[in-house]
Amino acid sequence: MTRAPASRALESTPLWLKLSSYLVLSDEEKMYLADLERTIDRVSPRTDLLQQGERYRDVRIMREGWAIRHKALPDGRRQVVNFVLPGDIIGMYCTLFESADHSVTTLTPVEVASFPPEKIGELFRSFPRLAAALAWSGAREEAIVAERLLSLGRRTALERTAHLIVELLRRLSVVNMVTDGHFVLPVTQEILADALGLSIVHINRTLRRLRDSGLIELNGQRITVNDVRQLASVGQFDELYLHLIRAPRRLERAFSGAHHHNGARMDGENRPKA
């Protein structure tokens, strides 16, 4: 793990992009966020950022690369709970727990920022709108896991696989990682299998079917989605669960501090005072 200076503090980081799709945030908030992303580590592929049973440390922001959040059974069976993509947060509520009930492992070279969990409290106090945006990001993660539960419980292998591909497409779009319907999927079939609750052989069969039907193409790690509509329909994909809609108006009342009398609007370009 290499620690490196932040090179693009005031550029648009993936997290910033993601949060911006939800809430218009002020420059001041952008600066605070940039500060959270100041301490940066570079991590090699196939490295654990966190291990099941281990004590939690810092909160982390994924800036670049892919990782997986996964849980293992004592006998080695493994389930990938979710993919960690640029702009995702790792262990946002880690202070609340004594130790981690899952592992996080990098798939590619990764760039992560870390900050001490106390910052979260500070955030809620001083930048409630930003905190709300982060809370949204966290709640959305839960929604994604719940949707994957629906997949594993009630969708067939073909449906699950199609659904996952569309989900990744949508999530990656938000952070500008999709061009013309294709993106890099730095994932072995074993990992896909562990994410979808299938055997590696069956994932292979299923991908073949999707390729044969012309819905997707695979060249190495690049996947091209030829017909999103149809793929989404195969996977019974309904993007409601991604909660991509902008923040509802009522958010202001709930999260902005009553002790900040600045009249800031939740959906405007206004900003609360520090």
Partner DNA sequence: AGGCGGCCACAACATAGGTTAATCGGCCGA
Partner DNA sequence: TCGGCCGATTAACCTATGTTGTGGCCGCCT
Q: Which residues bind a copy of itself (CB under 8 A)?
A: 52-53, 71, 73-75, 77-79, 81, 93, 95-99, 101-102, 117-118, 120-122, 124-125, 128, 132, 135-136, 138-139, 141-143, 145-150, 152-155, 194, 196-197, 236, 238, 240-241, 243, 245, 247-248, 250-251, 253-259, 272
Decide whether 31 or 97 has the Cβ nearer to a copy of itself: 97
Dihedral (Cα; 188, 194, 196, 202), 10-degree rounding: 70
201 binds, among a copy of itself, DNA, none (CB under 5 to 8 A by kind): DNA
Tokens of 273: 């005072």
Decide whether 66 or 136 has the Cβ nearer to a copy of itself: 136
Q: How far is the CB of 202 from DNA (least distance, A)?
A: 3
Q: How far is the CB of 225 from DNA (least distance, A)?
A: 17
Q: How far is the CB of 194 from a copy of itself (least distance, A)?
A: 8
236 binds, among DNA, a copy of itself, none (CB under 5 to 8 A by kind): a copy of itself
Restricted to residues 73-132, the positions that interact with DNA (CB under 7 A) are none
The set of residues, in sequence order, having a beta carbon less than 8 Å from that of 97 and lying 6+ positions away, is: 56
Restricted to residues 186-225, the positions that interact with DNA (CB under 7 A) are 188-190, 197-202, 204-205, 207-208, 218
Decide whether 190 or 238 has the Cβ nearer to DNA: 190
Rounded CA gap, 176 and 18, in Å?
Answer: 10
Q: Quick one: which H or E segment has residue 49?
A: strand 48-50
Please identify which residue in the block is written with the tokens 């592929």: 45
Q: How far is the CB of 75 from a copy of itself (least distance, A)?
A: 8
3-class SS shares of the chain: helix, strand, coil, % to 5: 40, 20, 40
Decide whether 120 or 207 has the Cβ nearer to DNA: 207
Q: List strand residue ranges (DSSP E) for 86-135, in order.
A: 89-90, 103-106, 110-115
Q: List strand residue ranges (DSSP E) for 57-159, in order.
A: 59-64, 67-72, 78-84, 89-90, 103-106, 110-115
Going by C-alpha positions, the residue among 195, 194, 192, 186 that lies closest to residue 208 is 192
Rounded CA gap, 132 and 61, in Å?
Answer: 16
Residues 144-163: x where in contact with DNA by CB under 7 A, - otherwise, as a string: ------------xxx-----
Site residues (vs DNA, CB under 7 A): 156-158, 188-190, 197-202, 204-205, 207-208, 218
